[in-house]
Amino acid sequence: MISVSTELIDKSASVHDIVYDISNVTLRFGGVTSLNDVTLQMRRGEILAIIGPNGAGKTSLFNCLTGVYTPQEGVIKLSGRKGDSASHIVATQGLVKKSRRSQQTHKINHMGVARTYQNIRLFPALTALENVKIAVETRQRSGPISAMLGMPWQRKEERESTEAAYDLLQFVGLTRRANELAGSLAYGEQRRLEIARALGTDPGVLLLDEPAAGTNPAEKQALAELIQKINQDRGVSVLLIEHDMKLVMSIAHRIVVLNFGGKIAEGTPEQIQKDPVVVAAYLGTSTEEAEEVIAEGPLVDGIDLSKPVLDNTSVEDLIEDEMGGKA
């Protein structure tokens, strides 16, 4: 069972402005609606969790927020770092072409957004240190020509990027693994390394897509503590997709629930656990039956929201089928 430090953030603190302002977002792929009129706000300084059964649209929302997809309807505004003015995230409608997609995701990253993926995307043939340095160096001015010429500022930035990468490895508890190949690390260590690499871009907002997937209870405990450290010690706002409800309920300040592409609930962990609409979505029952379950009392805290009875086909799977595996 996950337990976290009792020295939690005051859940009403440090949320004076808006990071993401998402209004009436709808995303379609042919006849498949992935997101349907989704509206929500993410406040600066908070840990916001997005949950929902399989196929609810969670990853599609992440892809819209990072420029991989652009919705056909709605508006997304971003203020990545404190003091930044809100900017529209704009691209072509629907799936973004690869050339435009890379430009858009790069632009959003420079606006202060970093993310991890459900499937780990490290460079396995590089060391842990080199993986993090790559991210750190994206914020430096030296390019390959400066490196080849050995310019003085390039050598200085090389030292600085190495120091910054070591600091991040220490932050996630991987200092002793600095010179080991990323592909040789244990699974839980690879998860932490991917988070360290994301932090290397100095984000104001960190999007974590299923960071606890495949981890054991001890690794989940360490992950919960790390996410809180990122939020508290580094002042990074965290947007989290996660099926492990014990982890979500222990660290999230607020939770948004999606089902079949639409938002069905929003509130504190305590409110979400007792919301009959949410319980019904996960148990595959009517709201009346869910209310009866909630009324029984002790079962409320024991409802395993991480294992919904509804085995919905993932929207991403439907997209791949419709587009011949090219989504």
Instruction: Please count the structural domains in the chain.
Output: 2
User: Are 261 and 56 contacting, i.e. CB atoms less than 8 angstroms apart?
Assistant: yes
Same domain flag for 311 and 323: yes
Q: Are residues 140 and 95 in the same domain?
A: no
What's the one-letter identity of residue 45?
A: G
- Bridge partners of 148, per DSSP, are none
Give the pLDDT score at 94.
Answer: 46
Q: Are residues 91 and 138 in the same domain?
A: no
131, amino acid identity:
N
Quote the pLDDT of residue 230.
97
The phi, psi pair for 144, rounded to 5°, reads: -60, -35
Average pLDDT over residues 256-285: 88
Task: Identify the CA nearest to 131 among candidates 174, 165, 157, 97.
Answer: 165
Predicted confidence (pLDDT) per residue in 95-154, tens digit? 444 445 556 788 888 888 999 988 889 999 999 999 999 999 887 666 555 555 566 666
Cβ-proximal residues to 115 (8 Å cutoff; 6+ apart), any chain: 62, 66, 198, 206, 207, 208, 209
199 band by pLDDT with thresholds 50, 70 and 90: very high
Amino acid code (one letter) for 95: L
Average pLDDT score, the chain: 80
Q: Is residue 125 part of a domain?
A: yes
- Asked whether residue 239 is assigned to any structural domain, the reply reads yes
For 110, the 3-state DSSP assignment is helix
Percentage of the chain beyond pLDDT 90 is 54
Q: Considering only CA atoms, which of 120, 125, 242 is closest in space to residue 187? A: 120
| 301 in a structural domain | yes
Q: Do residues 84 and 146 share a domain?
A: no
Alpha carbon separation from 211 to 54, 79, 154, 247 (Å, rounded): 16, 24, 34, 10
Same domain, 96 and 236: yes
Q: Do 95 and 131 reside in the same domain of the chain?
A: no
What is the per-residue pLDDT for 104? Answer: 76
Angle at the Cα of 320 (from 315 to 321), degrees rounded to 5?
95
Instruction: Identify whether 216 is part of a domain.
Output: no
Asked whether residue 177 falls in the same domain as residue 242, the answer is: no
Q: Do residues 243 and 105 both lie within one domain?
A: yes
Residue the block writes with tokens 């509206």: 39
Per-residue pLDDT reduced to its tens digit, 144-197: 555 555 666 667 788 888 999 999 999 999 999 999 999 999 999 999 999 999
State whether 242 and 266 are in the same domain. Answer: yes
Tokens of 95: 């799936």
Q: Residue 7 belongs to what domain range?
A: 1-112+203-211+227-327
In a domain, 44, yes or no: yes
